[in-house]
């Protein structure tokens, strides 16, 4: 794939992320700067706290899975990937504030992809980490309304 083609693919994946109905629940933004790398910036608010006053684990999973997924899907231009497994480790609780999920592709390019992600709080401290396995689906990226890879 050409550099220009890769950039179009990355922008289309960013639009796909933004178009997902679940993301209307989270103030977040995906950026893909290079093959196998993704970054999601988001805000943790009190609305996602558990009873003890910190972010619920679902937030950790959602953002780690998404960051790893998009890092992996940046290498697959034809099909939508599906998460087949995900292991996650909670390092420390997070209260309100800015958090970044950084995704990185680790291995695989044909049928199965492995990617990892980490969550970093506003102070630069790691608050969570995860590794996922992703598999090509039968869903063509070009068939998804949020993905418009070849539009200017």
Mean predicted confidence (pLDDT) in 1-15: 91
Q: How far is the C-alpha of 136 from the C-alpha of 95, rounded, in Å?
A: 35
pTM, 2 dp? 0.94
Residue 99 CB partners (closer than 8 Å, separation 6+) = 41, 42, 43, 44, 63, 119, 120, 121, 122, 127
Query: Does position 26 have pLDDT exceeding 90, yes or no?
Result: no
pLDDT in tens, 34-76: 999 999 999 999 999 999 999 999 999 999 999 999 999 999 9
Q: How far apart (Å, rounded) are the C-alpha atoms in residues 84 and 111? A: 12
Whole-number Å distance between alpha carbons of 88 and 109:
22
Reduced to 3 states, what is the DSSP secondary structure of residue 35?
coil
149 part of a folded domain: no
CATH of the domain at 52: 3.10.129.10
Residue 148 forms part of a structural domain = no
Domain extent at residue 109: 3-143
Distance CA 113, CA 123 (A): 31
60: closest CA among 94, 22, 16?
94
Of 41, 13, 39, 12, which Cα lies nearest the Cα of 26?
41
Residue 74 falls inside a structural domain: yes
Q: Is residue 77 part of a domain?
A: yes
Q: What is the pLDDT of residues 92-125, one digit of tens each?
A: 998 899 999 999 999 999 999 999 999 999 999 9
Select from 99, 24, 92, 102 the least CA-distant residue to 54. 92
pLDDT for the residue 152: 44
How many other C-beta atoms can be found within 10 angstroms of the C-beta atom of residue 143? 10
Q: How many domains does the chain have?
A: 1
């Amino acid at each position: 794939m050409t550099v220009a083609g890769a950039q179009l693919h990355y922008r289309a994946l960013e639009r796909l992320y933004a178009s997902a109905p679940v993301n209307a629940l989270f103030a977040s933004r995906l950026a893909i700067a290079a093959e196998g790398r993704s970054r999601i910036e988001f805000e943790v608010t009190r609305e996602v706290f558990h009873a003890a006053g910190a972010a619920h684990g679902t937030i950790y999973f959602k953002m780690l899975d998404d960051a790893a997924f998009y890092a992996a899907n940046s290498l697959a231009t034809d099909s939508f990937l599906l998460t087949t497994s995900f292991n996650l480790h909670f390092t420390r609780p997070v209260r309100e504030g800015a958090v970044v999920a950084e995704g990185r592709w680790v291995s695989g390019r044909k049928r199965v992809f492995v990617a990892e992600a980490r969550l970093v709080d506003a102070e630069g401290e790691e608050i969570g980490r995860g590794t996922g396995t992703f598999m090509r689906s039968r869903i063509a990226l070009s068939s998804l309304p949020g993905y418009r890879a070849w539009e200017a």
